[in-house]
Amino acid sequence: MNAYKPLTAESVGKLLEEASASVMMRSGRSDSYGSPRDFSFEVRATFPNKMGLHVVARQFNYRDPWEAQGRVNDMVDVSLLRDGEYSPLPKGFEYFQGIDEECGLDEERLKEAIACVAALNPKIYLLQELTGDM
């Protein structure tokens, strides 16, 4: 069995709060079996620089044949929000290049994406729009 680190709404929320984001979260199937099968939890965060992240764990990965023991989320999908709308990052960043969603991030890659967005100066959008790079 591969080593994995389960992600929960609370653990993702904590990572975002540690990066100075205000966070809202909700759980789906983990709290109510009647919830849609393609939704486990989601977390939305807004950073002081007005950038945001929308983190979604779409489905559980099963580590054994029975749901009761092996339901985990060890990967999430992350969308970048700028002014409340989905947006890619300007050129020169590791994440969100030409896309507004990164899929299948584990905890380490999620931390990197959070750090990237938290440290972003949004004025770079204007600069790249003025130079024609965006």
The tens-digit pLDDT sequence of the chain (134 residues) is 445 677 888 889 999 999 999 999 887 654 455 544 555 788 999 999 999 999 988 765 555 555 545 556 778 899 999 988 998 888 888 888 888 889 888 889 999 999 999 999 989 888 888 887 76
Tokens encoding 4: 């994995």
Say if residues 95 and 116 touch (Cβ distance below 8 Å). Answer: yes
Q: How many CA atoms lie within 13 A of 49 on its CB side?
A: 19
Side chain identity, residue 121: N
Residue 39, pLDDT score: 57
Q: Does the global pTM surpass 0.85?
A: no
Say if residues 117 and 90 touch (Cβ distance below 8 Å). Answer: no
What is the DSSP code (8-state) at residue 76? Answer: E
Give the Å distances, CA to CA, from 33 to 11, 15, 95. Answer: 21, 26, 33
Residue 134, pLDDT score: 63
